[in-house]
A and B are shown apart, each in its own frame.
Chain A
Amino acid sequence: MIYRECGVFKATYQEDMAIFPIPLDRWGVMVILSMAFFVIPFLASDYWLSSILIPFLVYSLAALGLNFLTGYAGQLSIGHAAFMAVGAYTSLILYGRYEVPLFLSLLGGGLVAAAVGAVFGIPSLRIKGFYLAVSTLAAQFIIEWGLTHWKWVSGGVFGTVDTPPMKIFGWPIDTPAKKYYLVLCFVVGLTLFGKNLVRGQVGRAWMAIRDMDVAAEIIGISLFRNKLLAFAVSSFYAGVAGGLITFTYYGAANIEAFNLMLSFHLLGMIIIGGMGSVLGSFFGGGFITLLPIFINQFARSLGAALRSDLLACIELIIFGGLIIFFLIVEPYGLARLWQTLKDKLRLWPFPY
């Protein structure tokens, strides 16, 4: 009875198609957003802002992009981190070398990543299934090689390239709180855009392609346009995320930060969080970002001081184990669990 849905009558299709048709949902999201914008920056410690919230937001954004491609459109991609790298280097070059305003540089990073993503999406028009999955690995390796070996990009420097200090309209973005705001604005804006995409015709076309692409083609959905669109959009999100994390977290562009392991982490995020769900991308992003911290705290509370490499092994074990666990128990991930919880709350405390 807490989570009430009865008594909520939608009088127009508009209301029925709203993102949050149930008032309680709407209020909940309003509260969370208000807290995110107005409360957290003042109450949270610098550590939390820079080391936990910013990575959480950025990786969730990248995971959201991957969700569009893999969760909605059904094209498995295991090289997603490479597109983050493209965005990272592009935005750095735009801002640092050509003094393009920060906001535009970040978007530019996304656009270039989108173009590259579309190119790597071309094989999906002929290749399917596991063959396609392995082909997406090509993106990871080719892009890694390209960014490090192409002198114009890497500036002849192997390794890291520092980011210049950030400014928007002359206003410096130097504190963790300000960086957090920058990231938050991008993430909220792009998430809204993404949600609109998936609840509209584009999302439906993607899901149709995922479920039965032969039939989708026959009823008139262009596989060419929609698959490439999926690759482009997902890479756009990855590119923006890559740029954001370069400027606000790492302070430098380093190809190592966008390695194959990150691609797997992103895939894990959407598996655990929920494929085909915008909310799931955030659940997964939060989960994976917080996992190492939890393991550390847990180990410490047990009194055991774990060597860092043993810690890394435990992380691997838990990561792998959780993927298997979720696939067996709840293949639709945490998002579905959350939905089920809400469904149960509809009747609680009268579970008849």
Chain B
Amino acid sequence: MTFAIEVAIGGLLVGIMYSLVALGFALIYKSSGIFNFAQGDMTLFSALALVGALTFLPLWLAILAVLVTMIGLAIAIEVLVLRPLVARPPLTLFMATIGLGFLLEGIGQAIWGTDPKGLDIGISDIPFKVRGLMISQLDLLGAVLSGGLFLGLVWFFQKSRTGRALRAVSDDHEAALSVGIPLGKAWVITWAISGVVALVAGVMWGTRLGVQFSLSLIALKALPVLILGGIDSIPGAIIAGLVVGASENLAEVFLGPYVGGGIQTFFPYLLALLVLWFKPYGMFGREIIERV
């Protein structure tokens, strides 16, 4: 029984890390209506940049440097990719972000190399015991950070003026433009925030798994979390992450041996499909009503 709880808790903590990545997706979608497929590659890019910066800068300066880089990246993306595609259908923008993902992956690996690197930010992965249960320090830190980010973002979108403006943008680009919301600035802000989220996710996952190409595949894990929770719902991202993390772990440990293992790769997708059939917009996603 203790084992099951440990597995579940481990899953929950991992789940929060998935939420972190899903959060990045939800953010951009919520404020610009764009599904940013490049989120995973942004995570990888930021982690690579951090490792690169750490070779000649102390930790806090390195983080600052990468933050600045991510903001610069956000501006570049807005100017080169988003602005030329401003009135296009969402599908086009989605495909552009697929291209963007490859671009970032290629650039990142061209600059910093493709070999796996370790990322050490001074937090060890050694688990400690709480009431007889083993919990990883790193996972705990990830959970705390994610929780903090999540609360901050919910406040931002609900209470602040900028947040409101961003929500308007996500609803209808042209309408938002017509009431004077500066689209370009709004997008830079969102993508920069998303870049910061990517950085946090990159640091957490990078410390855990090492910084290498497979980091961008974390995004693929986060996608079922995203659609399960609803692609524009911040609470959805957190809750779905918990659900997916826990269930994936439990399924692998308890169902896996019966079918040869390796279930974690697709179990979240199966779960998401099942839920989506009954709730086509995820658990908390906003329904899109088409009028004829």
Q: Which of B92-117 contact A (CB under 8 A)?
A: 92, 94-96, 98-107, 109-110, 114
A123 engages B273 (CB within 8 Å):
yes
Contact check: which of A123, A214, A313, A314 meets B290 at CB < 8 Å?
A214
Binary interface encoding of chain B residues 250-279 relative to chain A, with 1 for a CB under 8 A from any of its CBs, else 0: 000000000111110110011011001100
A131 engages B92 (CB within 8 Å):
no
A131 engages B280 (CB within 8 Å):
yes
B265 engages A320 (CB within 8 Å):
no
A324 to B95, CA, bound (A): 8
Which interface class (under 10, 10 to 19, 20 to 34, 35 or more) fits B? 35 or more
Does A319 belong to the interface (CB within 8 Å)? yes
A260 to B37, CA, bound (A): 14
B276 engages A127 (CB within 8 Å):
yes
Nearest Cβ in chain B — how far from A268, in angstroms? 8
B273 engages A135 (CB within 8 Å):
yes
Does B57 belong to the interface (CB within 8 Å)? no
Q: Which residues of B contact A142 (CB under 8 A)?
A: 266, 269-270
A264 to B219, CA, bound (A): 15
A260 to B104, CA, bound (A): 17
Nearest Cβ in chain A — how far from B166, in angstroms? 18
- With contacts A127-B280, A135-B227 known, is A317 near B99, CB below 8 A? no
- With contacts A138-B266, A142-B266, A149-B259 known, is A313 near B109, CB below 8 A? yes
Contact check: which of B110, B273, B281 meets A314 at CB < 8 Å?
B110
B84 engages A328 (CB within 8 Å):
yes
- With contacts A127-B276, A134-B224, A260-B220 known, is A145 near B106, CB below 8 A? no
A298 to B83, CA, bound (A): 32
Does A92 belong to the interface (CB within 8 Å)? no
Q: Which residue of B lies closest to A74 (CB)?
A: B91
Q: Which residues of B contact A76 (CB under 8 A)?
A: 91, 94
A215 engages B35 (CB within 8 Å):
no
Contact check: which of A145, A271, A310, A328 meets B265 at CB < 8 Å?
A145
A322 to B96, CA, bound (A): 10
Nearest Cβ in chain B — how far from A210, in angstroms? 10
Q: Which residues of B contact A320 (CB under 8 A)?
A: 98-106
A133 to B231, CA, bound (A): 12
Nearest Cβ in chain B — how far from A75, in angstroms? 11
Contact check: which of B262, B281, B285 meets A145 at CB < 8 Å?
B262
Nearest Cβ in chain B — how far from A250, in angstroms? 23
Does A225 belong to the interface (CB within 8 Å)? no
15 contacts across the A-B interface (CB closer than 8 A): A127-B277, A128-B280, A128-B288, A130-B35, A130-B227, A131-B276, A134-B226, A138-B270, A148-B262, A149-B259, A267-B95, A309-B114, A313-B107, A313-B110, A328-B85
Binding site for A on B (CB under 8 A): 29, 35, 80-81, 84-85, 88, 90-92, 94-96, 98-107, 109-110, 114, 220, 223-224, 226-227, 231, 259-263, 265-266, 269-270, 272-273, 276-277, 280-282, 285, 288, 290, 292
User: 8 new A-B pairs (CB below 8 Å) besides A134-B272, A135-B227, A137-B269?
Assistant: A126-B280, A128-B280, A129-B90, A130-B35, A323-B98, A324-B96, A327-B99, A331-B88
